[in-house]
Structure 1
Amino acid sequence: MKVGRLDASRRTEEEFNSKFAADHAAIFAGLMDALNKTLSELDNVTEAPTASIANFARFDMAVERALSWPKGGFNAAFSDPHRDR
């Protein structure tokens, strides 16, 4: 594992909490928008997932489509358990 240098512009917990309080509604709205798009796309996933956790893989295929992520990214990451080691 590679760990980068700590950023000198780090925030205190108080600063972080203040910023999060100001932004949490927009963050939540973005998550709900992504979930809405994913659920709308779910019925369009007709491929049979090859992962052992097929329902999760199918959901992820819908996420890839809904958010315009590269096709097959989940399967590639899931099929290589040593990828980040």
Structure 2
Amino acid sequence: MTRLARAHLPMLKKTGSYYVMHIVVASLVAYAVTGSLTMAVTLSLLEPTVQAVAFFFHEKAWQRRAERAGATAQPAPQTA
């Protein structure tokens, strides 16, 4: 696992920094809307979690769609 992490360290760092940025932006927006620090923190932590679950199902749906399209595609006739 350590070798895998080291091999992808730049991507992991970028993902981590994006996650932190997402939480900060979501907190600021939620605070601006609600005026409550507790609600802002709760919403900013809840939203990325829900988004991650939604993304998983979104990817599965697209994968299923691509598989169905590939199964129905006819190969082009070959000319001699």
TM-score w.r.t. length of structure 2: 0.43
Q: Which has the larger radius of gyration?
A: 2
TM-score w.r.t. length of structure 1: 0.42
